[in-house]
Amino acid sequence: MKARHIDTLSKSEYSVLFHLINYNRLSALELSRILGYSRQNVSAILSRLVKKGYVVRLRVGKRVFYEPSSYGREYKPYPYKRFLLGKRAVITGASRGIGKAIALEFAEKGADVVINYRQVKHDPLAHEVAQEAKKYGVKVVVCRADISTENGVKKLYQATMEGLGGIDILVNNAGIIEPPADWLNLTRHAWLKTIDTNLYGAFLTTRYFAKPMLKQRYGKILYIASVWGTVGSANAPAYTASKSGILNLTKAMAKELAPYINVNAISPGNIDTDLTRAAGEEFIRDVIEQTPFKRLGTPKEVAKLAAFLVSSHASFITGAEVVIDGGFSLR
């Protein structure tokens, strides 16, 4: 048979083939549940793939399954890299740190991304992230908006709908530790600003973006919590309280939005970003000493976990907290 290139497949054909390669054998119904496509759409795509020789149809008793043909399997290495192809993702707080790494990881995996951030002075940083993401051939929208306010979230929602035409993945990553953060000096202003950004903001974005997800019966929501939300931080009570709140918000929203939307949380330990560096050298020395892996984590390590959790590889995971901390919270 004459060699054909994967590019001859549409995004949805490619996605179906990719999942058949991963799972080996699936029915049209199973595929439609994992991918969030309608049953009719999946059946039409499967018929085309069978006709093109990428997929074979099998009858087992009364049931019909699909498997990749040996020709279809040849494309295994390439689809593995682009497992978010065609998905539309919003990442809050993506101008730097963990959010930036997540946006770039998603773009590399094929997703269109919205880069959100708050400060005017970080316009150039956000545009640099956008330039880097565009190298992966995906659509990129840059949106400066304060997600701790309803107006900010509305602006982000509108920019997403206009720029990408919809949403499949929401990553609630934006977070702050507003000074003064220690319990003796913490002001009402600092308390409210931290809670408004880390907890209320994450809830507001969820409320806006979950609606189109529910309508299309498909979506992934990921919260970036923190191990401090469980173990308690001695010098940042508002931050710690906001992160414990996020962990329970994850469970509440996972129940509210089931069965079509997966809602999960990542709890990073100490990751090498501006937020951690702002705590000072002594803090960093201490936490490295308390981490069995004896180092800070990298934003890229968190981003790889995020890509897994919003992908179809994690289709049956919801309401979960995944800790990534080099063993820091082991006691």
Q: Residue 82 or 118: which CB sits closer to ligand NAP? A: 118
Q: Residue 79 or 201: which CB sits closer to ligand NAP? A: 201
CA triple 289-293-294, angle to 5 deg:
35
CB 85 within 8 A of CB 136: no
For residue 73, the minimal CB distance to ligand NAP (Å) is: 38
For residue 282, the minimal CB distance to ligand NAP (Å) is: 16
Task: Using the structure block, give the residue that is written with the tokens 């682009």.
Answer: 82
CB 99 within 8 A of CB 294: no
Q: Residue 72 or 175: which CB sits closer to ligand NAP? A: 175
CB 295 within 8 A of CB 272: no
* Token pair belonging to 152: 């900010």
Of the candidates 219, 186, 197, the one whose C-alpha atom is nearest the C-alpha of residue 153 is 197
Neighbours of 243 (CB within 10 A): 26
Name the helix (H) or strand (E) containing 56.
Answer: strand 55-60
Return the percent helix, strand and coil in the chain, to nearest 5. Answer: 50, 15, 35
**Phi–psi pair at 146, nearest 5 degrees:** -85, 105
Neighbours of 234 (CB within 10 A): 10
**Max alpha carbon distance in the chain (Å)?**
74
For residue 71, the minimal CB distance to ligand NAP (Å) is: 43
* CA distance between the termini of the chain: 59
Q: List contacts with ligand NAP (CB under 6 A).
A: 92-99, 116-119, 122, 146-148, 173-176, 197, 201, 224, 226, 268, 270-271, 273-276
Q: Residue 13 or 325: which CB sits closer to ligand NAP? A: 325
Q: Residue 79 or 229: which CB sits closer to ligand NAP? A: 229
Our answer to whether residue 239 is catalytic in this structure is yes
For residue 256, the minimal CB distance to ligand NAP (Å) is: 21
Q: Residue 119 or 131: which CB sits closer to ligand NAP? A: 119
CB 283 within 8 A of CB 183: no
For residue 243, the minimal CB distance to ligand NAP (Å) is: 7
Assign 113 to helix, strand or coil: strand
d(CA 278, CA 257): 36
For residue 101, the minimal CB distance to ligand NAP (Å) is: 8
Q: Which of 78, 200, 239, 260 is catalytic?
A: 239
Q: Which residues are catalytic?
A: 239
